[in-house]
Structure formats: C-alpha cells, structure tokens
Amino acid sequence: MKIFLDTADIGEIRTAARWGVLDGVTTNPSLYAKVGGSYEEILREICRITSGPVSAEVVADDVEGMLREGRAFAKLARNIMVKVPMSELGLEAISRFAEEGIRTNCTLIFTSNQGLLAAKAGATLISPFVGRLDDINQDGMIVIRELAEMFAIHDIDAQVLAASIRHPQHVTQAALAGAHISTIPFKVLGQMVHHPLTDKGIATFKADWEKARAAAAKAAAETPAAAGSAATTTAARADGDGSSGRTGPRANGVKPARHGSGSGSTKRRR
Ligand code: E4P
C-alpha cells in the first residue's frame, strides 16, 4: 500500500520525504487554508519534493469552471492529479478530464456505489472518507473493502485511496482491507513511527553503552601496566602470525603457508 501525506505543509512533506516513506500528497481547500499563501506556488513546491501524484482540488460548481481550474493545475507539473468532488457535475468533469488525458482523484466518496460511478467516469483515484463516516456511526472501512473487492473482481483500473484517516489503526485496517493508497495526516504518520517500548529501549541501550564505556575507560586508567602488557602481547601475536603485514621471525616456529605452493596446492595434487 502506498502512503500519501494529507497536508499542504511543505515542512511536513519534506520530513516524510527524508524518511523515505512518501509516495504522494493530497491537498484540499481546508488544508490549504491552514498554510495560506499561493496555492499554485505550494503545489509547484510539493511537486518538486515528490515525483508521486499530488492532488489539487477544484472548487468551481460548474463543469466548465472545474475544467478551467483543473487544466491550469495540470500545467503546473506533470505529477499533478486534479481532485474533483463527487457529484453529477463532478462525474461529467471527471469524464471530460479523462478524454483530455488529465488524471483525477474523485473526492468526498461515502458509498461504494459513488466510488463505482467515479471509476466508470474515468477517475484514477477514488477517495472514500473513512473518518468522517466513523464520525456519524457508520463503518468507513466497509467502503474501502467493498471498493477494493469490486475493482479486483471486475478488473477496474481505478485505485482505492483511503482518506480522512484519523489514527494509526485506520492505516493498518485500510491496508488489510485492500486500499491501494492511504493518505495520512503528518501527526498520524509520526504516531506510526513511535512506540513507548521502542523509545524506552533506545534510551536504555544508550545508557548501558555509556555506562560500559565509562567503566572500561576507568579500568584502563587505573591499571596502566596491565594495559601496556596487553598491548605488547597483541603486537607480538600479530608479528608471529604474519598479520602485522611484514615477514619476520616466527614466534611459534611454524612456517607460514604460502598461497599456490606446498601440499595444499590444487595444482600440485593434480
Ligand atoms: C483527502 O484527500 C481528504 O481531503 C482528507 O483526507 C479529508 O480528511 P478529514 O476528514 O480529516 O478532513
């Protein structure tokens, strides 16, 4: 399952990219409102950070307006994907974008039938909103599972993008339900990285390492003679077995074997 970041925050996107886990980004007008500035410039910057799909959402409420906005987004970078809300006009716009070769992400999907229609109209990505369904006491993951099964049974190319993810369990469940992609808020991505036992384990290993190093340094400082004699023994051993890198007197009286000669040589045996 691919992982997209659900944000318009450049800092968050850069961080996820550095972690090596970023497959794409989804934005929407609400996420854009949190950061402000020029939406177009933000989209260009995101497309410079990731080569994966970057969703840019249209807000027009007529087909021609959606097409105008979507075509302008598509010109910003080759990995832009035009996000179109599910509606009768949205389906028409998706169908027209498909004819023009512009890829779309159909958003605000709350039923499997909506997803099926969006796929038929030509959307590349279908985005069921899991969290918002859970909020009204419906199981959002059912839509993910049903669409993933439908697309597999009928060999439909569209991909299921689990959206409105609220916590790490949603990500696990979406992956198991067959979602092709999950788009995840940065906070949830961070929660996926951490576990209290992992963090505690790292701290314990570090503390034990420092304790052991301090004890070793203390022992060496307290017994300089022992340290000196150990160094002499090591040097003598190295000299005797040839590992010192030069040919010299043999400490053990055994002639060192030479490669390609003597009874060990394959050539000689033949
Ligand atoms: C994704 O494409 C959606 O815009 C997003 O996941 C919506 O999430 P929300 O329900 O947390 O706003």
Domain ranges of the chain: 2-193, 196-246
Q: Which residues of 18-56 are buried (b: 16+ CB within 10 A; e: fewer)?
A: eeeebbbbbbbeebbeeeeeebeebbebbbebbebbbbb
Residue of 81, 105, 212, 202 lying closest to 162 (CA atoms): 105
Q: 148-203: per-residue pLDDT in tens? A: 999 999 999 999 999 999 999 999 999 999 999 999 999 999 999 999 999 999 99
The finding on whether 107 has its CB within 6 A of some atom of ligand 1 is yes
Please, is 245 exposed, middle or buried when counting C-beta atoms within 10 Å of its C-beta (0-12, 13-18, 19+)?
exposed
Nearest atom, ligand 1, residue 163 CA: 6
Q: Encoding tokens for residue 178?
A: 């067959």
In the CATH hierarchy, which top-level class contains the domain 2-193? alpha beta
Q: Which amino acid is at 3?
A: I
Backbone angles phi, psi at 7, to 5 degrees: -170, 160
Is 83 labeled as catalytic in the residue annotation?
A: yes
pLDDT at 261: 36
Q: 85-130: per-residue pLDDT in tens? A: 999 999 999 999 999 999 999 999 999 999 999 999 999 999 999 9
CA distance 133 to 106: 17
Instruction: Please determine, for residue 242, whether its predicted confidence score (pLDDT) is greater than 50.
Output: no
The finding on whether 27 has its CB within 6 A of some atom of ligand 1 is no
Query: Ligand 1, atom 5: nearest CA belongs to which residue?
Result: 164
Find the 63 Cα to ligand 1 centroid distance in Å: 23
The finding on whether 132 has its CB within 6 A of some atom of ligand 1 is yes
Q: Which of 34, 75, 83, 206 is catalytic?
A: 83
Q: 26-85: per-residue pLDDT in tens? A: 999 999 999 999 999 999 999 999 999 999 999 999 999 999 999 999 999 999 999 999
